[in-house]
Amino acid sequence: MKLLSGNSNKPLSKKIAKFLKSKLVNSSIRKFSDGEIYTEINENIRGNSIFIIQSISSPANDNLMELLLCIDALKRSSAKNITAVIPYFGYARQDRKVVPRTSISAKLVSNLITKAGADRVVTVDLHAGQIQGFFDLPVDNLFSTPIFARHIKKKIKNKNLICIAPDVGGTERARALGKLLNVGLAIVDKRRPKPGQSQVMNVIGNVKDKTCIIVDDIIDSGGTIINAAKALKDRGAKEVFVYISHGVLSGDAVKKIKKSMIKNLVITDTIDNEEKVKSAKNIEVLSISSLMGEAIKRISNSTSVSDLFK
């Protein structure tokens, strides 16, 4: 078994390699002056099981193309099998046609990864679980909720907790975290008048004097979470903590979070945000590397991955 890293998140790839006491395959991934991507594997990988680690994070198009070209290079180098390890699966938010005449990007990206030659996919907190069905390959969707639950139990001593889904789509995720913490659930009724804009209509459940734990898969512009935090505070919540798997953090999201009423935002390192969040005292990054490393080990040894979440 060997690990190859794309350029999207080298710090995470190195941590996974360290966990597995392995080295990253020697490769050259660079750009021609016109922006085209060039990939070359600089060592023999004939007959090896290869795990290529690459997030489809910003710049999403370049990182996706890099992933596809790496898979193609691995296939043409006679790898025995290729697992696409995609900590952040971008383009997943368009998973159905919500209005007529739109694309379903999650399906197209799944087709591209399959066509490029991947034999298996490993990812973390897919935006919608059913995207697994867009692949006719095994897909292991890992969950960050146990990591979040451990952190909450250690860091938040207040016992008057409640888990919050920031929109109806996030109910299952918030319920799963609530179950691990043995606390109740409230739901924010969010509407999107336009892409990139969010509006809170209502909060379903009583949050008065409670310490609220909002949980979601993605924080992008920050609008969803900041509006949800304000709505909770307006309804008497004591304090608001936020746990998000993927810190997309586009535009001035970090600046907005710093100024918001969010006490602490915890994200994982599925996206490399080292530089971006350095100045934010209320943003903390938890590493997902040991969970991913353990899953890779289990896939490699053909042992259960789901046992990790029992």
Show which residues are catalytic: 190
Kindly indicate which of the ranges 58-66, 210-218, 230-238, 287-295 contains the residues binding ligand R5P, using the contact rule CB under 6 A: 210-218
Helix axes 10-19, 289-300, angle to 10 degrees: 60
> Taking the complex as a whole, how short is the minimal distance between the CB of residue 216 and ligand R5P, in angstroms?
5
Among 223, 230, 235, 297, binds ligand R5P (CB under 6 A): 223
Kindly indicate which of the ranges 81-89, 97-105, 117-125, 219-227 contains the residues binding ligand R5P, using the contact rule CB under 6 A: 219-227
Among 140, 217, 269, 272, binds ligand R5P (CB under 6 A): 217
Give 48 or 224: the residue with its C-beta nearer to ligand R5P.
224
Note whether 131 binds ligand R5P by CB under 6 A. Answer: no
Among 95, 125, 140, 216, binds ligand R5P (CB under 6 A): 216
Among 95, 125, 140, 220, binds ligand R5P (CB under 6 A): 220
> Taking the complex as a whole, how short is the minimal distance between the CB of residue 169 and ligand R5P, in angstroms?
5
| Separation of alpha carbons 166 and 219, rounded Å | 11
> Taking the complex as a whole, how short is the minimal distance between the CB of residue 82 and ligand R5P, in angstroms?
29
**What would the x/- binding string for ligand R5P be over residues 89 to 108, using CB under 6 A?**
----x---------------
Among 59, 129, 138, 169, binds ligand R5P (CB under 6 A): 169
Note whether 138 binds ligand R5P by CB under 6 A. Answer: no
Among 171, 221, 264, 287, binds ligand R5P (CB under 6 A): 221
> Taking the complex as a whole, how short is the minimal distance between the CB of residue 93 and ligand R5P, in angstroms?
6
Note whether 219 binds ligand R5P by CB under 6 A. Answer: yes
> Taking the complex as a whole, how short is the minimal distance between the CB of residue 102 and ligand R5P, in angstroms?
15
DSSP string, the chain: -EEEE-STTHHHHHHHHHHTT--BPPEEEEE-TTS-EEEEE-S--TT-EEEEE----SSHHHHHHHHHHHHHHHHHTT-SEEEEEESS-TTTT--S-SSSS---HHHHHHHHHHHHT-SEEEEES-SSGGGGGG-SS-EEEE-SHHHHHHHHHHH---S-EEEEESSGGGHHHHHHHHHHHT-EEEEEEEE-SSTT--EEEEEES--TT-EEEEEEEEESSSHHHHHHHHHHHHTT-SEEEEEEEEE---TTHHHHHHHSSEEEEEEETTS--HHHHTT-TTEEEE--HHHHHHHHHHHHTT--SGGGG-
Give 220 or 272: the residue with its C-beta nearer to ligand R5P.
220
Q: How many residues at the interface with ligand R5P, by CB under 6 A?
A: 15
Give how far Cα 115 sits from Cα of 72, 75, 110, 135, 177, Å: 9, 11, 9, 10, 35
Instruction: Give contact residues for ligand R5P (rule: CB under 6 A).
Output: 93, 166-167, 169-170, 198, 216-224
